Amino acid sequence: MTNMLKATATSNPWNLPNAITMARILAVPFFIWSLVAISDNESPMRWISELIFIVIMASDGIDGAIARKRGIVTDLGKLLDPIADKALLGGALVTLSILGEIPWWVTIVILVRELGITVYRLIVVNQQVIAASSGGKLKTIFQGVMVGFVVSPLTAWFPYEWYRILESSLVLISVVLTVYSGLQYVVAAVRARA
């Protein structure tokens, strides 16, 4: 009986983790609006944007933990989770580039990789669902930390060269991990076809 209930929960895409993921996607426009409305990156009001970003990023771990604990991991969840990550981080990167806080080349490199992998996932979704790789998860963490630092008004608190070097290093590490994890997906796809 328990196995039958667990199997039903697993096959039902309308569950709490997927609802949290959908809420994350729907919260992204509010985060972007807050960045545009509080465009001064040293304003204390920027903490509002930072708080929204942290809540959305933290809920990423929550939905996954609930799904694994309750045994209700679904193909829809595996598909929506990376889309939610990409909507948040992509929206943040484009907005921060428009505001002049992140170079456009960084945003372009990251978005080309993210959109390429997402399109590939959508193309092969009927044949196989591609879950995030370990490199992809590490990349997402670093991207989140990098965006968190850039969004925060900490440059007003630390107007020092070392802090700017720290932010630049996080940006560079995020780009390297993004490219590396993209190559991991390409190699995995080639091997799967072979």
pLDDT of residue 5: 42
Contact 124, 131 (CB under 8 A): no
Please, what are the averages of pLDDT over each run of 10 residues along the chain (194 residues)? 44 78 92 93 93 91 81 77 86 96 96 85 64 72 93 89 92 94 80 70
pLDDT of residue 111: 94
pLDDT of residue 6: 46
Structurally, how many domains does the chain consist of?
1
pLDDT of residue 119: 80
In eight-state DSSP terms, residue 73 is: -
pTM: 0.80
169 three-class SS: helix
CATH number reported for the structural domain that contains residue 184 in this entry: 1.20.120
Residue 102, domain extent: 2-193
